[in-house]
Structure 1
Amino acid sequence: MKKILIQKDDIKARLWAKEAERLGLGELYPCPGSPMGLPFHFLKLILQDRKFSGVCFRYLNDYPSYLKSLVRLFTDFLTVVLAITFQKDVYWICHNVDKETNEFHPGLVALRRTVLKKVAQKIFVTDELLLQPAEKLLDVCVHRLRVITFGLESALDNNDSSKLSEIQAINNWVLNKKREDREARVGLWIGTLEEKKLVGLRKALELAQEAVAGDGSLYFVIVGPINAWLAKNAPQLLVQLQSCPNILFVGVALDVPASTWGELFDFIWKPLDDLSVSLTAFNSATARVPLFCEAGTFMGKYVEHYKIGYAVAFDKLSCTDVQQRLDCWSSEPCEHFLETHTWTRGARALFGS
């Protein structure tokens, strides 16, 4: 049975592992903790004489500290050397085709990406729509590229009991708004924050303020560990988000179960400008609510192609535009999308089945 060591023990790795085991494809060993621990997990399996066939790299983010980024460079190189020495396959799931989410030292990140482009037997992208951009930007032969997919939300719960009160507070706020305003449409923004996502957050604030001024019944719930980042990089925006009556600002990391999104939210707000597929697309499709992305971006093309949301031009978008699109929304394409994009398909791709 094929066994693969994979970087990062997150929900994606766990669900691919679960499906691989269920189908008898093989075993996937997600590595917990820092990605710099990957070579040590590799050696541990070797010393335990646990047979495995390959190692799979994923995210190649680095750190603000140059020294820490150098250590990450060394541990990635060490893992590659170990794989070559012990004759293990090297795979790379290229979640972000054009660039990593966090690149504090682009030269070091580019070097690590170049090494993986050279040594990886298979490079995975997260949708067919990314095959052509990957072939061009990574400068690799298309026969080395594969497609690995995510799937619908699982029952896995990553919230600890201390956060249940925040989840309940969100439920209460949304339900109260919908009782007070029969025309209320509530959107969810959820995630972490970098400079590239600020434009989407600013547009959400603009729409909420427009609604407060009397031109619409639009509300937003903003969820994610973004307080510190905003306080440092955009303090005025933080104050405006916290003070807007049409926004519930929850500045902590929460896994709001996608199974509840359809009961609470009318749309999901997820502007991204890089060449990557967001797991949020699968959660919004699970909830049968549209995903709003920015026109001219890959995710805008993605949601329009699969008909699971809308690509909107921020400079022309108003509350009325959002409400009109919601009035025209049909969730039927979500069913087909989730039938063709599954954790099972992802596991089969990873194990070459």
Structure 2
Amino acid sequence: MTNERKRMRFELLLERFFSNFHRILLTNLLFAIPSAIVFGALYALNNVLFHGAISLPLSLTAIILLYPFYSGVVMVCRNIARGDTEVKVVKTYFSAIKSNFGHFLVHGIIIYIIVTFSTLAVSVYVGFLSSGWFFYVLLFFSILIALMLLFTIYYIPLMSVTYDLPLRYIYKNSLLMSFGEFKNNIFATIAAGVVFGICFTAVAFIRSATVLAIVVSLLWALLLPAAVTFMIVFFIYDGMTNIMRNKEDISGELTEKIEKGLKEQEEKKAAQAAQPVKDDFSDIDISSLKDTDDYIFHNGKMVKQSTLLKMIREQQEKAGESQSDPSNPAE
């Protein structure tokens, strides 16, 4: 019997990527259709409003407009990354858009705000570096915060297509995993960086603006969105599902303990209610009691002696009935 060598993670990455490359290509082409419409409209609007000058806030609105369609890319790449062998790209793509359109539109707005302010903050502090060392500190913290937000953005779309959760839990869990899954986040960033590096190499020596625009458009339409998404999802999916599964197990255990505790309390109350409550007459001398209306101090109250005698006799009668009952044999 031969033992097969356990394949390294890098080998699985390459195997799943290249064996499903035609699916990744088709996913890119599907996403390229709304991309072309959005980029074309924003380019025309930018020319009208700013006469050819590039407006960063306006250009980044593409994130909001395209993010609902990006849900299809995430769903297809998630299925490929986790090892599904028969992924129906077109059906999966449009099903994801239909199911997640509203949530991803909100995600797009949130991510637009994050990206816009992070970009502006870093660019401003870079411009002021010559003014003093304090701006180096601000730049460092800006980059650090931007990196944590980038890791958070990794999880937001993946968690949305994988779990049916309210938005606040998606953002909370994604932010926590940006810290808790730091190693996998770094691997995902490196893998995505490799894809961008290959694309940059392909266009670095092009001098013609027209040719450059054509090559960049082709790379976007055929490779970039799904390839980068696949790389990120491959490295973070297992860690995310393990954490979410552990949370469900812990939640289930807590629920079980709470239910068990409530059941024990109810059983205890029922048992106490079933037992006869005996009055305590240890604070008085029973032999001195008389059947009169004279009052005597008992359990912090003044009670008639005749009433106490009646209570004592009733308790004695109940005790006698309990002893004579065959269902309650004496010890």
Q: Same fold (TM over 0.5)?
A: no
Q: Based on CA coordinates, which of the two structures has the bigger radius of gyration?
A: 2
Higher strand share: 1
